[in-house]
Structure 1
Amino acid sequence: MKKQLIMEKALELFAKQGFEATSVQQITEHCGISKGAFYLSFKSKDELIQALIDHFMNQMTVDIDYVVKNTNRNELLYKFYYTIFHTTYQHSDFARLLLKEQSHTFNNDLFQKLHYYDHLLENTILVMLDQLYGEQVRETKYDLMYCIKGFMHTYSHLFVFYNIPLDLNELTQSLVEKTNLLAQHTTVPFMTEELVGMFKSPINEEVTKEQILDILEKKIVEMDDSLERESLLLLQEQLEETTYRPVIIRGLIENIRNHPDCKWISFLLRRYYDF
C-alpha cells in the first residue's frame, strides 16, 4: 500500500514538474512520509520511475496480448487499436511524461526497459498480422508493423498533448480501414527480418520458471485471502510439480487475469505455458 501511495503521489508531481525537476525530498513531503520510508520501498528515484513504467506498460502489454490471443479474426484489429488507445487515455498523465521526457531524462537502464516492452509489442503485432493476413503480407509484414506503431504514436500525441476530443470508436474504425488498405496494397517492402533484428532489445525477453516462481512467491505474500491468492498458490504448486491438466491451468490463470496486481504474472504464465 505504501509503494502504491508513493507511486500515485510521485506521478502527481512528475506530471506538474517533470522527472528531472522532482526530488525525492519533494516526493516524501507530498506523501507525508520520511525519506527512510521512501527508501524502504524504492532504492532511488530511478527505481520509482521504473516501477511506474512497469505499471503502465504491463497494463498495455497484457491487455493487448490477451486481445490478440482471444479475439476472433473479424474483430481483432478493431479491438487491438481500441485497447491501445483506451489504455493510453486512461493513463494519459504518465503517457504524456513518457512521450515528452524519455529522450533527455532517462538513463540507459530505463531506456532498455522501454525497449524491452517495445519488443514485446512488436512481437504481438507480428502475431496479429499473421492471424489477419497470413501469406498476403509475408514480404511486407515488418513494414506494416512499423506503420501500425506509427499510427499508435502519432494519434496518441493528439489526445495526450492537445486534448482533442476523443471519439474512440471513430478513431479505431479509421485506423482499421487504413491498416487494411496498407495490408492489401503495399507491394514494395523495405524492412526485413534481418534489419529488424538489428534493433532487438539486448534484454532477455524469456522469463525462466525460477523467475516466475520468485514473482509468484512475492505476489502471494502481498495478497489478501481471496480466489486470486488461492489460484496463485495452486499455480505455484503446478510450476514446482506438474500435476494439473492444461484446461485447469488455463482456468487458474483466468482467475487472476483481471486482478490489477496479477496482470503481469498472468501474462508471464500464459507465455510460459504457450496459452
Structure 2
Amino acid sequence: MIKKQLIMEKALELFAKQGFESTSVQQITDQCGISKGAFYLSFKSKDELIITLIDHFMMEITSDIDHIVKNSNNDQLLYDFYYATYHYFYKHLDFAKMFMKEQTQTFNKEFMLKMRHYDKLHEKTILTMIERLYGEEVKYTKYDLIYCIKGFMKMYGELFLFKSVPVDFYLLAESLVEKTNILAKHMTVSFISEEHKKLVDLGMHEAVTKEQIIEMIDQKVEEMEESVEKESLILLKEQLLVTTPSLAIIKGLLENIRNHPHCKWIAYLLRDFYKSNT
C-alpha cells in the first residue's frame, strides 16, 4: 500500500475512536509503523491530513452522485439520488459523525472554504437533476426546490448520524421522492430568484483548467501502483493533449477509473470538462 494511503486509513481509524483533537501525530505514526519524518514527507501537519481526508470523502460522494444524476433513468433518478447519498454516509458513519462535528466546531478558514466549495458543487448536481426531471414545470421555483432537497437530506440524516435510530433506507428514499415530487408539482411561490442565486454563488464556480487536470493526473500516476486505473489515467492525459480527442475512448477510460476511490475526482472533473467543451 502507498504510504500516504496507509497514513490516511490508520489515521481515520484513530480519529473514529478518539476524535481529531485527541489523536496525536505520534499515535498515527505508531499505528502505521513509520517515523514522524516519514509522516511529514506526506503531510505538513495533522490539519493538512484532516483536510486531505475530508477532500477524499467529499470528492468520492460528489463524483458518485454526479454520475448517478447523469446516468440513472428518470423514473429511478430521484430515488437513486436519495438512497445513494444516505447509504454512502451510513457506510462511512464514523467519518460522517466526525465530519459533522468538525463543521460545527472548526474556525479553520481552509476547511470552511472547502465545505462551501463542495456545497456549491452539490447544489449544481441537484439543479441538473431538478431540470432534467421537471423541466419548465419548475422554471420559477427550482432554486427553492434545491434548498428544500438539501433540508430534507440534512434533517433526515440526523436520525442515524446523531440519534442512532434504525433506518430503512429504501423506505426513506421512497418517502423523500414522494415529498419532493409534491413540492415540485405544487409549489407556486418562489423566494429565491435566479438573480438572487447568482449573487449568493458569486465567485464560487471557478472552472478547473485542462492544465490543472493534467497536473492532478500526473500526481495520481506517480502515487499509484501498476493497474488498469493507472494505465487509463495515462491514456486520458494523452486525450487531453491531442487536438481532436475521441469521446468514445474517453467514455470507456472514465468507466475504468470512476469506481477507484483515488480516481473518482478526476473522472468527475473530466466529465464536467468535456461537457463544457463539446
> Deviations for 1:86-138, whole angstroms, at most 9, x for unmatched residues?
11111111111121222222400111011111000000000100001111111
- Gapped runs of 5+ residues in structure 1? none
Give the structure 2 partner of residue 96 of structure 1.
97
1:201-240 aligned at under 5 Å gives the runs: 202=203, 204-240=205-241
TM-score by length of 1: 0.94
Take 1:198 and 1:48, find their aligned partners in 2: how far apart are those partners?
A: 33
Name the structure 2 match of 1:254. Answer: 255
Contact 1:19-1:105 at 8 Å conserved across structures:
no
Which residue is 1:48 aligned to?
49
After superposition, the Cα gap between the structure-2 partners of 1:90 and 1:259, relative to the gap in structure 1 and judged at 3 Å, is same
C-alpha contact 1:10 1:27 (8 A) present in aligned 2: yes
* 8 Å contact from structure 2 (residues 216, 266) kept in 1: yes
2:208 & 2:249 partners in 1: Cα distance? 22
SS at match of 1:274: helix
Q: After the TM superposition, which of the residue ranges 188-197 and 153-162 deviates more from structure 2?
A: 188-197
Q: 1:86 to 1:201 in 2, by over 3 A?
A: farther
Whole-Å separation in 2 of the counterparts to 1:200 and 1:43: 31
Q: 1:106 to 1:7 in 2, by over 3 A?
A: farther
Match of 2:108 in 1: 107
How many pairs align? 275
Given residue 113 of structure 1, which amino acid in structure 2 is its aligned partner? Answer: K
Which residue of structure 1 aligns with residue 137 of structure 2? Answer: 136
Aligned counterparts of 2:212 and 2:121: Cα–Cα separation in 1:
18
> Cα offset for 1:203?
5.1
Contact 2:232 2:257 in 1 (8 A): yes
1:180 aligns with 2:177: no
Structure 1 residue aligned with 2:171? 170
Higher mean displacement: 265-274 or 245-254? 245-254
Change (3 A) 1:220 1:127: same
Which runs of 5 or more residues in structure 2 are unaligned? none
The 1-side partners of 2:163 and 2:33 are apart by 33
Q: CA deviation at 1:271?
A: 0.8
SS in structure 1 of the partner of residue 201 of structure 2: coil
Question: AA paired with 1:195?
Answer: H
C-alpha spacing 1:73/1:120, structure 2 compared with 1 (3 Å): same
Instruction: Give the conservation status (yes or no) of the 8 Å contact 1:220–1:232.
Output: yes
User: What's the CA shift string for 1:144-171, capped at 9, x where partnerless?
Assistant: 1001011111111111222221211111
Q: CA shift at 1:72, angstroms?
A: 1.4
Q: Is the 8 A contact 1:62 1:264 kept in 2?
A: yes
In structure 1, the residue matched to 2:275 is 274
CA contact (8 A) 2:144 2:192 kept: yes
Stretch of structure 1 that moved more, 199-208 or 171-180: 199-208
Identity rate of aligned residues, in percent?
60
Deviates more, 1:179-188 or 1:222-231: 222-231
Counterpart amino acid of residue 194 in structure 2: E
Distance in 1, matches of 2:165 and 2:115, equals: 26
Give me the CA root mean square deviation. Answer: 1.7
Residue in 1 that maps onto 2:126: 125
Q: In the superposition, relative to structure 1, how do residues 205 and 87 fare at CA in structure 2: closer, same or farther (>3 Å)? A: farther
Contact 1:212 1:265 in 2 (8 A): yes
Check the 8 A contact 1:116/1:201 in 2, yes or no. no
2:239 touches 2:246 (CA, 8 Å); kept in 1?
no
Q: TM-score, normalised by structure 2?
A: 0.93
CA deviations over 1:10-67 (Å, ceiling 9, x no partner):
2223223332333323332333322211111111112111111111111110111001
CA distance change for structure 1 residues 36 and 11 in 2, over 3 Å: closer, same or farther?
A: same
In structure 1, C-alpha distance between the alignment counterparts of 2:92 and 2:202, rounded to whole Å: 25
